[in-house]
């Protein structure tokens, strides 16, 4: 006879911090992850396989049950989600593609069954590791090429690619202050504020608009986000993962949160929703020869 063991990590969403009243999260026995918070309502989106394959679900802070809003006929790998600052649309990562969906298209009574080319924003030749809004009409996508993160900015009205001068790894926006954009330099990990945006047509090549915040992210950081003048990012230290929050205003303290087999997170209005390991399941089996 042969004895062997199996194990499975159950990943679910949970509130890490909350500034508003939040209820119990509707998690399932399969993975619920990649949460995306709305900014002006108590709603959030997330990805789950509770219906058999990866689909998009919509939930509310106060409601007990999340509702499916996509029912794709084909199996897709669904990843990063980024809700627009005005809550009117959402960016969705499917494999190496980015789609923009109107929130009005996400109908609980008639889940979306497919996506079309009109919703396609960008197709990458390399793995996508980050997705964020850069401004109202610009999207920041980070790909990894030969282990180096590379940033692409897409102008949504024309679907043209804009490359800011310099070597950049990430583009970020502050949903509370959507007129402010940020860039993280590729090798130095320096955070720059982009003094846009008198016009959406402003060129990203105007280097006089880049201001060094004097904040340097640590080597090996990942999943950066900005909310209400606060920078968030994840690090791995001695085999453990931590979420850091660093105020971009000098009079506020920084925080550090221990994570547990981290998957993803989102932050809005001081609410942090996290996707990480809820429990580890396993069995011991014996063969009968």
Query: How many C-beta atoms lie closer than 10 Å to residue 179's C-beta?
Result: 13
- Residues 54-110: tens digit of each pLDDT: 899 999 887 778 899 999 888 888 889 999 999 999 999 998 999 999 999 998 889
On whether the CB atoms of residues 94 and 115 are closer than 8 A, the answer is yes
In the predicted model, what is the mean pLDDT of residues 121-133?
95
Residues in contact with 226: Cβ distance below 8 Å, sequence separation at least 6, in sequence order: 172, 173, 174, 182, 232, 248
Place of tokens 């900005």: 226
**What are the Cα distances from residue 116, in Å, to 25, 67, 83, 99, 128?**
31, 22, 19, 9, 20
Q: Which of 70, 190, 197 is nearest to 138 (CA)?
A: 197
Mean pLDDT over 248-274 rounds to 88
**CA quadruple 197, 202, 204, 205: dihedral, nearest 10:** -130
Q: Which residues pair with 6 in a beta bridge?
A: 283
What are 5-64's pLDDT values in tens digits? 998 888 889 988 876 666 678 778 778 899 999 999 989 999 998 878 889 999 988 777
């Amino acid at each position: 006879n042969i004895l062997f063991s199996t194990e499975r990590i159950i990943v679910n969403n949970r509130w890490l911090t909350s500034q508003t009243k939040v209820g119990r999260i509707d998690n399932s026995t399969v993975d619920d992850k990649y949460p995306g918070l709305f900014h002006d309502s108590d709603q959030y989106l997330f990805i789950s396989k509770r219906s058999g394959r990866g689909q998009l679900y919509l939930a509310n802070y106060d409601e007990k049950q999340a509702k499916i809003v996509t029912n794709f006929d084909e199996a897709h790998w669904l990843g990063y989600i980024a809700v627009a600052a005005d809550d009117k649309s959402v960016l969705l990562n499917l494999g190496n593609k980015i789609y923009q969906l109107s929130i009005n298209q996400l109908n609980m009574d008639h889940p979306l069954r497919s996506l079309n080319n009109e919703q396609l924003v960008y197709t990458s030749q390399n793995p996508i590791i980050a997705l964020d809004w850069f401004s109202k009409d610009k999207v920041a996508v980070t790909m990894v090429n030969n282990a180096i993160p590379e940033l692409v900015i897409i102008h949504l009205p024309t679907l043209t690619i804009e490359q800011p001068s310099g070597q950049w790894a990430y583009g970020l926006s502050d949903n509370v202050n959507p007129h402010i954009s940020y860039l993280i330099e590729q090798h130095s990990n320096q955070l720059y504020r982009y003094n846009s945006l008198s016009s959406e047509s402003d060129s990203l090549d105007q280097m006089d608009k880049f201001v060094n915040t004097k904040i340097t992210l640590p080597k090996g950081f990942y999943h950066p986000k900005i909310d209400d003048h606060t920078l968030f990012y994840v690090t791995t230290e001695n085999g453990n993962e931590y979420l850091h929050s660093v105020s971009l205003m000098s009079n506020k303290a920084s925080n550090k949160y221990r994570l547990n087999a981290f998957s993803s997170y989102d932050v809005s209005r001081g609410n942090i929703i996290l996707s990480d390991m809820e429990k580890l399941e396993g069995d011991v089996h014996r063969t009968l020869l």
